[in-house]
Amino acid sequence: MSSLLVDDIGELVTNDLGGEDGPLGIRRDVALLVEDGRVAWIGPSRDAPAADRHLDARGAAVLPGFVDSHAHLVFAGDRAAEFAARMAGQPYTGGGIRTTVGATRAAGDDELRATVRRLRGEALRQGTTTMEIKSGYGLTVADEARSLRIAAEVSEETTFLGAHVVPAEYADRPDDYVGLVCGPMLAAAAPHARWIDVFCERGAFDVDHARAILACGQAVGLGVRVHANQLGPGPGVQLGVELGAASVDHCTHLTDADVDALASAGETWVSGFVPTTVATLLPGAEFSTRSPYPDARRLLDAGVTVALATDCNPGSSYTSSMPFCVALAVREMRMTPAEAVWAATAGGARALRRDDIGWLGVGARADLMILDAPSHLHLAYRPGVPLIRQVLRNGVLQ
């Protein structure tokens, strides 16, 4: 059993309810012992047990690794020209998804694999220790299955998004496409996926199709997440709550009834502990589509659990940077730095229904980052600066 002591931590964000200083459970001037990939002990450095190796944090801040619960990494090509057109005044409609579908179908496995690994590597260097990865740019049985196979090589959090849009060849018969998604495509995808997701939006899938697809996924044991209320108001958020989704993502256009549904999610479900439906906000998408940001304050004040994620994809949000999303959330969405850091770590873990990550206490997975800064505040205070000095995943220095 090998052990590692992270020593001389100036500020430790634990996200542990037993900690001090509000929701981040901040502890100061401590050391943290890792054994077998887990946190084994936290306390003052002078009381630290002996360890095989030492990592000197030199008074820096140490945080749980970011949990990016929403990313689309399996694609080919880019859509920089579409971004330029938007910055010149064109609106974002999601219509470009089909461009990426064409490029992805034409790409070889190694090209897709290289892109996934490049983006996963970028994210890791920016502190992301867990990253959910969706399919959704294949939209044939074979292309969705291979997208998920490639995603599963680098993440255990994989999501089947065969219902991203109706592909061009099914444009005039969407019912047939829904049948394909629920039948052979789901059968080929499910062995490689933990989750199922649907883009429930005007121009993508209506509420009846979305409900049918998500129910088919649930029936084969996949957990539910929904792309909802991104481009306009709609039924996606309430559908997600109705089905007990782990997360509804985007949440940019919400009615009071949507917020109420999220605030009471979980409470109305039958016996036993059922975790809530998280509202996952994706400010990279609003940045890159020049759209109004979601109202995080309204959700937080209503008691909704909020997560932050990148939505990394070549169309609406080509960033793998959780620090960037934290900074946007603080500056543009009226989240406090503490709320944003919590949402990007513990919030993401809840959106993936994981209790082993997103916090640092005895028993948690030793997924953490050491900042080149004395406090978590610097993530938003020093936007665009590479502040992630070192990352541990499963207790292993990356």
Residues that bind ligand NIG (CB under 6 A): 94, 96-97, 100, 199, 227, 230, 285, 311, 313-317
SS3 content of the chain, % helix, strand, coil (to 5): 35, 20, 40
Q: Which is nearer to ligand NIG, 113 or 164 (CB)?
A: 164
117: annotated binding-site residue?
no
3 state SS of 275: coil
Question: Which range touches Fe ion (CB under 5 A), out of 46-54, 110-118, 287-295, 305-313?
Answer: 305-313
Q: Which is nearer to ligand NIG, 315 or 347 (CB)?
A: 315
CA distances from 15 to 26, 185, 237, 368 (A): 7, 39, 27, 12
| CB of 387 vs Fe ion, minimal distance in Å | 26
125: annotated binding-site residue?
no
CA distances from 340 to 9, 179, 197, 337, 343 (A): 21, 40, 24, 5, 5
- 285, interface contact from Fe ion, ligand NIG, none, CB < 5-8 Å by kind: ligand NIG
Question: Which range touches Fe ion (CB under 5 A), out of 26-34, 186-194, 252-260, 308-316?
Answer: 308-316
- 234, interface contact from ligand NIG, Fe ion, none, CB < 5-8 Å by kind: none
- Please, are residues 135 and 144 in contact by the beta-carbon 8 Å criterion? yes
Q: Which is nearer to ligand NIG, 140 or 264 (CB)?
A: 140
Rounded distance between C-alpha atoms, residue 230 and residue 114, angstroms:
29
320: annotated binding-site residue?
no
- By the 10 Å C-beta count (0-12 exposed, 13-18 middle, 19+ buried), 201 is classed as buried
Structure tokens at 40: 């084994």
Rounded distance between C-alpha atoms, residue 184 and residue 204, angstroms:
20
- Which of 311, 344, 370, 378 binds Fe ion (CB under 5 A)? It is 311
170: annotated binding-site residue?
no
Secondary element (H or E) of residue 308: strand 306-308
Rounded distance between C-alpha atoms, residue 52 and residue 354, angstroms:
29
Q: Which is nearer to ligand NIG, 205 or 342 (CB)?
A: 205
| CB of 230 vs Fe ion, minimal distance in Å | 8
Q: Which is nearer to Fe ion, 258 or 311 (CB)?
A: 311
Q: 18 CB contacts (<8 Å, ≥6 apart)?
A: 25, 361
| CB of 294 vs ligand NIG, minimal distance in Å | 13
230: annotated binding-site residue?
yes
Q: Which is nearer to Fe ion, 82 or 311 (CB)?
A: 311
- Size of site (CB under 5 A) for Fe ion: 1
- Please, are residues 46 and 31 in contact by the beta-carbon 8 Å criterion? no
Per rule CB under 5 A, is residue 157 in the interface with Fe ion? no
| CB of 104 vs Fe ion, minimal distance in Å | 15
- 100, interface contact from Fe ion, ligand NIG, none, CB < 5-8 Å by kind: ligand NIG
Rounded distance between C-alpha atoms, residue 71 and residue 318, angstroms:
10
- Please, are residues 105 and 167 in contact by the beta-carbon 8 Å criterion? no
69: annotated binding-site residue?
no
Residue 54: what residue type?
H
16: annotated binding-site residue?
no
The runs of H, that is alpha helices, within the chain are: 80-87, 97-106, 109-125, 141-152, 174-180, 186-189, 207-219, 236-242, 256-263, 283-289, 296-301, 322-332, 337-342, 348-351, 378-381
Q: Any idea which residue has 């690994």 for tokens?
A: 117
Question: Which range touches Fe ion (CB under 5 A), out of 26-34, 83-91, 210-218, 303-311?
Answer: 303-311
253: annotated binding-site residue?
no
- 316, interface contact from Fe ion, ligand NIG, none, CB < 5-8 Å by kind: ligand NIG
Q: Which is nearer to ligand NIG, 130 or 230 (CB)?
A: 230
Q: Which is nearer to ligand NIG, 305 or 313 (CB)?
A: 313
Q: Any idea which residue has 């916090």 for tokens?
A: 359
| CB of 100 vs ligand NIG, minimal distance in Å | 5
Q: Which residues bind Fe ion (CB under 5 A)?
A: 311
Binding-site residue ranges for Fe(3+):
70, 72, 227, 311
Binding-site residue ranges for 4-imidazolone-5-propanoate:
79, 137, 164, 230, 316
Binding-site residue ranges for N-formimidoyl-L-glutamate:
137, 313, 315
Binding-site residue ranges:
70, 72, 79, 137, 164, 227, 230, 311, 313, 315-316
Binding-site residue ranges for Zn(2+):
70, 72, 227, 311
